[in-house]
Amino acid sequence: MQTAERLQLFQPTIELLAVRWGSAGPLLPGFALLALGKPLPLEEIAKANGTEVDRVERAVSVARCERDAQGRLIDLYGMTLAPSLHRLEIRDKILFSCCALWTHVIPKLVNATVQVESVDPLRRELVRLSVSPAGVESVDHPGAAATLAVATREAIDDDVCRAFCCQVRHFVSRESAEEFAAGRPTCHAVELSELEGAAEQLHQAIWSAVEG
């Protein structure tokens, strides 16, 4: 199966993920601000977006973004200050994400090259990638691969991390990715180029959802 054909398998799931972004317009400047590596007051997003804080507050509530005790954002649609599966270095600041696909979208949202460190969940080896807004620039394992998942609307609405994010990982080899996917009926091994293609599709779908 060719890459374009394989990506069609995941397109419905990508569209479902993008639906969650319908009210995210006021939050988009927050990605570059959160990438500064510290909790983010909603007032800063409102100022950057030229809008009212109440509008940002409503968007945060709909998105169910995590906040600290002072009400500041520490998570924005899965780009987070809290340690998680994938470590991100953005302009010398450390952030995290629970989804390998998201690590390929974040560079497009912050307009910066991101150094990604993921642990192959089976081999327990680090996979290091340099991902620019244009795509993967380098990877330390020449045969590195990934997984993608398909999910229903109900599963995504119930728990997007369990239904999708935690199944989407980086691996040191295609064999490792296939072994991980073998026991998960909604999970599929893919090439890094296919993961990158899905990231571009998701990025475009996000903008369509926001502008729609």
Q: Which residue has the tokens 């620019």?
A: 132
CATH topology of domain 22-76: Arc Repressor Mutant, subunit A (1.10.10)
Contact 188, 9 (CB under 8 A): yes
Query: How far apart, in Å, do the first and last CA atoms of the chain sit?
Result: 33
CATH topology of domain 3-19+93-207: Beta-Lactamase (3.30.450)
For the chain, domain boundaries: 3-19+93-207, 22-76
CB neighbours (10 Å) of residue 91?
12
| Per-residue model confidence as pLDDT tens digits over 50-101 | 999 999 999 999 888 999 999 999 999 999 999 999 999 999 999 999 999 9
Candidates 130, 126, 110, 107; CA nearest to 118 is 126
Contact 26, 46 (CB under 8 A): yes
Residues 6+ apart with CB under 8 A from 202: 14, 17, 18, 101, 105
CB neighbours (10 Å) of residue 24?
20
Candidates 13, 8, 15, 21; CA nearest to 152 is 13
Can you give the pTM of this predicted structure? 0.93
Q: pLDDT at position 23, please? A: 82
Greatest Cα pair distance, the chain, in angstroms, is 50
CB neighbours (10 Å) of residue 56?
24
AA letter at 13: T
Per-residue pLDDT of the chain (212 residues; tens, 9 = 90+): 556 677 888 999 999 998 888 888 899 999 999 999 999 999 999 999 899 999 999 999 988 899 999 999 999 999 999 999 999 999 999 999 999 999 999 999 999 999 999 999 999 999 999 999 999 999 999 899 999 999 999 999 899 999 999 999 999 999 999 999 998 999 999 999 999 999 999 999 988 888 75
